[in-house]
């Protein structure tokens, strides 16, 4: 496959760009593989890539029901960060951010990782204290975190309403290395790199059942025929419960709809990622100029990939409370993605009670930033049979053992993040 | 999404608060396998793509608890009843 470089771009331009090859190989299913990864989103493709690259397992198939990245990989707000409080999460997401930092060189693909920084606004003394605690936790793990004051923030984002009557801004938590990446490019980049190493990417191939032998899972039934494999890994986001049910599994997951939005294109306005601390609103500006933003879940079980107007209003109200100058910006598009909301707000990367079946799920709505590390750890689990050190806490049985990873500390609710 | 409240009539879903799966029933703490049953009730869900029976609370209305049958793929609502009555039958 072609390597992308400045030299190749120039020489292709001289040949009028007539001999570019497809980015990845659209494969037909073979009869059997070493590993099948179900789900052709970011997580599934990253898993396949690291299986081939790190563990040398190249007889791998990625099965995708639609087209690559047609689910949540193409529906998120593209934020990458590692400002978590609980140690299990802090370490994991920092590892992910480090993979993001060298992803383009690793994949030889422009994933447009932009470390433009992220601000969490504090609107009360209590919130500032909580951010101080979180910043300390981050720094103890060697992650950059800064508590910034209002004067500093006014220089960075003068258009924000600092003197809001109800939610005056008192400071913020700043992570400089956080930022955004181009979500589709992440999918294509991993697909290309995995395909190059011999991974079969099979689209329009929906799993309809599991092939069992003596209690083990030894393959999957699909709309394109039966495919056998020693190990099957699920990386299905919102559809996890649905497919796991075909193997008789019940999971601590509910599927909820989360909406995201993009405005018409504006001249450069927002230099970083902004998180409103009093409501729930997060925004960044894409390179095309559109403001990409989102807020809360709609709040009820859904597989519909679209939400309701009341949440649209709610998110926009949050946005206007933070940045009043957006009041006349027109909304260009909105869409919904289906989140696999786990019951403590943290993910699961673990084997299942069924031999041969492995699970990567429960990402709630923080799955995008986790893509490289989730792929890395899931590949480790599939290849070696034991959890990667960084994902050891993300066990499926933690709900029974009580070792929950409850980042917000509010108990069993499937609508955390 | 609009929900037909049996007391107030058809209202916007934003008037309601959502509790979740109505089939998750509290286990008997004295019963057999109480731990396993509590685990099921608190954490594990069917999470169907299709008809789902769930509890909604008409917070900004009559404050009734309702049992709603709704399709999670289309948001179509088939049936709304007071949660109390649904328990009796």
Mean confidence (pLDDT) of chain B: 92
CATH superfamily of B2-24+31-88: Folate-binding superfamily (3.30.2270.10)
- In contact, A353 and A217? CB cutoff 8 Å: no
Chain B positions in Cβ-Cβ contact with residue A412 (cut-off 8 Å): 42-43
- In contact, A303 and B73? CB cutoff 8 Å: yes
DSSP A170-208: -EEEEETT-EE--HHHHHHHHHHHHHHTT-EEE-S--EE
How far CA B76 is from CA of A8, A131, B4, B5, B73, in Å, comes to: 53, 42, 12, 15, 8
Complex ipTM, two decimals?
0.94
pLDDT at position B87: 63
Tell me the pLDDT tens digit for each residue of A38-61. Answer: 999 999 999 999 999 999 999 999
DSSP A291-355: EEEEEEEEEEE--SS---HHHHHHHHHHHHHH-GGGGGPPEEEEEEEEEEEETTS--EEEE-SST
pLDDT at position B80: 96
Tell me the pLDDT tens digit for each residue of A270-287. Answer: 999 999 999 899 999 999
A417 — pLDDT class (breaks 50, 70, 90): very low
**Mean of pLDDT values over A239-245:** 96
Please judge whether A300 and B44 are an interchain contact, meaning their C-beta atoms are less than 8 angstroms apart. no
Interfacial residues of A (vs B; Cβ cutoff 8 Å): 239, 241-242, 245, 250-255, 299-304, 308, 310, 343, 399-400, 412, 414
Residue A135 pLDDT > 70, yes or no? yes
pLDDT at position A305: 92
Q: How far is A364 from A33, CA to CA, in rounded Å?
A: 30
Residue A406 pLDDT > 90, yes or no? no
Please judge whether A252 and B45 are an interchain contact, meaning their C-beta atoms are less than 8 angstroms apart. yes
How far CA A339 is from CA of A253, A254, A304, in Å, comes to: 9, 8, 11
Mean confidence (pLDDT) of chain A: 95
Residue of A nearest to B42 (CA): A412
Please judge whether A254 and B47 are an interchain contact, meaning their C-beta atoms are less than 8 angstroms apart. yes
Residue of B nearest to A314 (CA): B14
Interface A-B, measured as beta-carbon pairs within 8 A, has a size of 67
Q: Identify the residue with better confidence: A377 or B41.
A: A377
- Percent of chain A clearing pLDDT 90 (strictly above): 94
Measure A336 CA to nearest chain B CA, in Å. 12
3-class SS shares of chain A: helix, strand, coil, % to 5: 35, 25, 40
Nearest CB partner across the interface for B13, out of A255, A308, A414: A308
| Burial label, A404 (beta-carbon count in 10 A; 0-12, 13-18, 19+) | buried
Residue A288 pLDDT > 80, yes or no? yes
Q: Identify the residue with better confidence: A46 or A402.
A: A46
Residue A182 pLDDT > 80, yes or no? yes
Asked whether the CA dihedral A383, A385, A386, A387 is positive or negative, the reply is positive
> What ranges do the domains of chain B cover?
2-24+31-88
Q: How far is B55 from B58, CA to CA, in rounded Å?
A: 10
Chain A positions in Cβ-Cβ contact with residue B18 (cut-off 8 Å): 299-300
B21 touches chain A (CB under 8 A): yes
Measure A71 CA to nearest chain B CA, in Å. 15
A375 Cβ contact list (under 8 Å, min separation 6):
A42, A43, A45, A46, A47, A48, A49, A50, A190
């Amino acid at each position: 496959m072609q390597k992308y470089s400045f030299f190749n771009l120039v020489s292709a331009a001289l040949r009028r760009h007539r001999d570019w090859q497809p980015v990845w190989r659209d494969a037909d299913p073979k009869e059997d593989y070493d590993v099948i990864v179900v789900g052709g989103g970011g997580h599934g493709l990253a898993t396949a890539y690291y299986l081939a690259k790190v563990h040398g397992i190249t007889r791998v198939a990625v099965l995708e029901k639609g087209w690559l990245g047609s689910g949540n990989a193409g529906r998120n707000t593209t934020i990458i960060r590692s400002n978590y409080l609980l140690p299990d999460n802090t370490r994991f997401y920092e590892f992910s951010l480090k993979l993001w930092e060298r992803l383009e060189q690793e994949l030889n693909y422009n994933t447009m990782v932009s470390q433009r920084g992220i601000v969490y606004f504090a609107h009360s003394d209590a919130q500032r204290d909580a951010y101080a605690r979180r910043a300390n936790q981050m720094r103890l793990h060697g992650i950059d975190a800064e508590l910034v004051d209002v004067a500093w923030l006014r220089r960075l984002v003068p258009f924000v309403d600092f003197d809001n009557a109800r939610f005056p801004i008192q400071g913020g938590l700043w992570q400089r290395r956080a930022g955004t990446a181009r979500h589709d490019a992440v999918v294509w980049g991993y697909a290309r790199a995995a395909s190059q190493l011999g991974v079969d990417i099979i689209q329009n191939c929906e799993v309809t059942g599991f092939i069992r032998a003596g209690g083990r899972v030894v393959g999957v039934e699909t709309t394109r025929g039966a495919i056998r494999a020693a190990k099957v890994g699920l990386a299905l986001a919102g559809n996890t419960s649905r497919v796991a049910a075909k193997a008789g599994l019940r999971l601590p997951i509910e599927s909820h709809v989360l909406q995201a939005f993009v405005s018409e294109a504006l001249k450069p306005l927002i230099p970083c990622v902004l998180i409103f601390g009093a409501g729930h609103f997060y925004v960044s500006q894409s390179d095309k100029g559109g403001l990409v933003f989102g807020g809360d879940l709609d709040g009820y079980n859904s597989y519909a990939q679209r939400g309701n107007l009341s949440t649209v209003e709610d998110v926009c109200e949050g946005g206007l409370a933070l940045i009043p100058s957006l009041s006349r910006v027109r909304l260009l598009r909105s869409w919904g993605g289906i989140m696999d909301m786990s019951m403590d707000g943290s993910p699961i990367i673990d084997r299942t009670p069924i031999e041969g079946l492995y699970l990567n799920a429960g990402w709630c709505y923080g799955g995008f930033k986790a893509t490289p590390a989730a792929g890395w750890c899931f590949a480790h689990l599939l290849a070696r049979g034991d959890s990667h050190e960084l994902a050891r806490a993300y066990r499926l049985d933690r709900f029974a053992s009580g070792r929950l990873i409850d980042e917000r500390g509010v108990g069993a609710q499937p609508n955390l993040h | 999404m609009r929900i037909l409240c049996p007391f107030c009539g058809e209202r916007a879903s934003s008037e309601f608060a959502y509790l979740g799966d109505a089939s998750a029933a509290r286990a008997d703490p004295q019963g057999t396998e109480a731990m396993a049953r509590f685990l099921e009730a608190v954490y594990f869900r069917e999470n169907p793509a299709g008809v789902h029976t769930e509890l909604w609370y008409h917070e900004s209305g009559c404050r009734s608890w309702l049992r709603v049958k709704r399709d999670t793929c289309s948001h179509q609502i088939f049936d709304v009843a007071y949660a109390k009555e649904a328990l009796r039958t």
